[in-house]
Amino acid sequence: DAMVIQNPRYQVTQFGKPVTLSCSQTLNHNVMYWYQQKSSQAPKLLFHYYDKDFNNEADTPDNFQSRRPNTSFCFLDIRSPGLGDAAMYLCATSRGGGGLRAEAFFGQGTRLTVV
C-alpha cells in the first residue's frame, strides 16, 4: 500500500494561474518535505515541516508556499507559476532526526507543466 501519496500525478496549469499540489502520508511521520526536481538535476529541497514548524530554504522563491493542516497532509501552493517552475515535485516524509531517522520516504511525484 502506498504510504506517501501525491495528487495529481500530472498537473497542467496556465502561466500565472495559482496551483496547489497535495501530499498525504499514512506513516505518521513528523517531517514532511517538498522537493523540486528538474531534468538531470538533483532534487532540491524547497521547505519542510517538522510537526507544525515550518522551515523554508533560503533560496526558495516567495512564489512557493506550503501548508500542513494536520500530520497527514501537506500542500504546495505556487501562487503565480512561471515557465521555469515546470518540474517534478516530490513530497517526502521522515521520522526526523539523525541516522536512520533521516531516511525519507517519497511519493510518486507530481509532474507540473506550465503552459
Partner 1 sequence: DQQVKQNSPSLSVQEGRISILNCDYTNSMFDYFLWYKKYPAEGPTFLISISSIKDKNEDGRFTVFLNKSAKHLSLHIVPSQPGDSAVYFCAVSNYGGSQGNLIFGKGTKLSVKP
CB of 40 to partner 1, least distance (A): 7
Q: Which is nearer to partner 1, 31 or 76 (CB)?
A: 31
> Is there a contact between 108 and 25 (Cβ–Cβ < 8 Å)?
no
Whole-number Å distance between alpha carbons of 10 and 73:
19
Contacting residues toward partner 1, per CB under 8 A: 4, 6, 9, 30-31, 33, 35, 40-45, 48, 50, 55, 90, 92, 94, 96-109, 111
Whole-number Å distance between alpha carbons of 30 and 39:
29
CB of 67 to partner 1, least distance (A): 18
Q: Which is nearer to partner 1, 12 or 80 (CB)?
A: 12
